[in-house]
Amino acid sequence: MNTFRSGFACFVGRPNAGKSTLTNALVGEKVAITSSRPQTTRHVIRGLVHRPDAQLILVDTPGLHRPRTLLGERLNDLVRSTWAEVDVIGVCLPADQRIGPGDRYLIGELAKIRRRPMLALATKSDKVAPERLLEHLASIAAAGDELGVEWKHVVPVSAVSGYQVEHLRDLLIAELPEGVALYPDGHLTDEPEEMLVAEVIREASLEGVRDELPHSIAVVIEEMVPREDRPEDKPLVDVRATIFVERDSQKGIVIGKGGSRLRQIGTDSRGQIERILGTPVFLDLRVKVAKDWQRDPKQLRRLGF
Ligand SMILES: Nc1nc2c(ncn2[C@@H]2O[C@H](COP(=O)(O)OP(=O)(O)OP(=O)(O)O)[C@@H](O)[C@H]2O)c(=O)[nH]1
């Protein structure tokens, strides 16, 4: 089977650098709605790119400011922790402007984040002549060297003409980890996170046993709450979920020998859930039989159908 990749990318850059226009160009015809996520998520999703081999989730991060106050510093800490949570960062440096002090500050701050692939994007490249574009690309490379950011790629792009948009999509997706789609295909929804989390667990439960249990699994999130008494910078969310099957024999399949499959389901889904929620998660999974739930209206309602 081909590898499926999924994960998060964000674009950073000074105001007007072309971040929103580029997001829309990458998402294409499909809706790019600004959707605010429930409190547990720090990411504001700007758009989704669905492909047969990948799902790329473009998120917003708050802007970074030169800190003048303690509050400013705290805000910047938040920006940095968001940066550290995405899989790839695109730094937008518009070709029609020289790299300025604001850009240099931003690049310097990015240099402090380790091991995060960073792509330098020469946005609005349709606005300048080829010679100027080359000069711009050279100064982007030089700024990276000087400020300590190793650009994974330096990519000229134009959201308006479409130049290299497809290529950029490929480059971003190449940086994502392997994993299942984190959001339903086709559109960006306001679906509660619980549905997404349930879907991740359902997918993981079916892994390798799809033929034996095609439609027999439903997952209900019983509880999803932040653990109390955690330090603010070390949150933990407790997720308690029940995997419903139709028959006892299926329960055995899901649990596996000595609980081995259930443990694997937990391991496989926890990482994805943490990525959706943006916090570490303690996952408690149970398996229950709901006899013939697919034929029972009451059960169906309970299982959210
Ligand atoms: N010619 C040209 N103009 C572009 C391109 N991308 C963006 N623009 C224009 O640049 C302006 C700013 O673009 P935005 O996408 O809103 O920039 P942004 O970085 O999201 O801005 P903020 O939301 O203020 O941070 C708009 O007028 C866009 O039409 C491009 O590829 N080519």
DSSP labels, 41-105: --PEEEEEEEETTEEEEEEE-PPP----SHHHHHHHHHHHHHHHHSSEEEEE--TTS---HHHHH
Ligand 1 binding pocket includes 135 (Cβ within 6 Å): no
Whether ligand 1 lies within 6 angstroms of the CB of 21 is answered as yes
- pLDDT at position 3 over 60: yes
Q: Which of 120-134, 137-151, 178-192 has the lowest mean pLDDT?
A: 178-192
**Complete domains list, the chain, with CATH:** 5-174 (3.40.50.300), 193-302 (3.30.300.20)
Residue type, 250: Q
Instruction: State pTM to two decimals.
Output: 0.64
Kindly provide the ipTM of the predicted complex, given to two decimals: 0.97
Which of 35-39, 88-92, 194-198 ranks highest by mean pLDDT?
Answer: 88-92
Residue 153 burial (CB < 10 Å; 0-12/13-18/19+)? middle
16 lines ligand 1 (CB under 6 A): yes
213 lines ligand 1 (CB under 6 A): no
Tens of pLDDT, residue by residue over 53-82, are 998 988 866 556 666 666 666 666 767 777
Please state the residue numbers annotated as binding site.
13-20, 60-64, 123-126
- Beta strand pairing call for 54-60 and 44-51: antiparallel
Confidence of residue 298 (pLDDT cuts 50, 70, 90): low
Query: For residue 182, how many C-alpha atoms fall within 13 Å in the half-sphere facing its CB?
Result: 26
The pLDDT value given to residue 253 = 92
What does the pLDDT average to over 208-224?
79
95-109, 122-136, 146-160, 282-296: least confident range: 282-296
Is any ligand 1 atom within 6 A of the Cβ of residue 46? no
Q: Which residues are annotated as a binding site for GTP?
A: 13-20, 60-64, 123-126
For residue 122, the CA-to-ligand 1 centroid distance in Å is 12
Residue 141 vs residue 289, higher pLDDT: 141
CA dist., res. 53 & res. 46, Å (int) = 20
Ligand 1 near 18 CB (within 6 A):
yes
pLDDT digits (tens, 9 = 90+) for 110-138: 998 877 899 999 999 999 999 999 999 99
Residue 277, burial from CB neighbour count under 10 angstroms (0-12, 13-18, 19+):
buried
State how beta strands 88-92 and 5-12 pair.
Answer: parallel
- 163 C-alpha vs ligand 1 centroid, how far in Å? 15
Distance in Å, CA 134 to ligand 1 centroid: 20
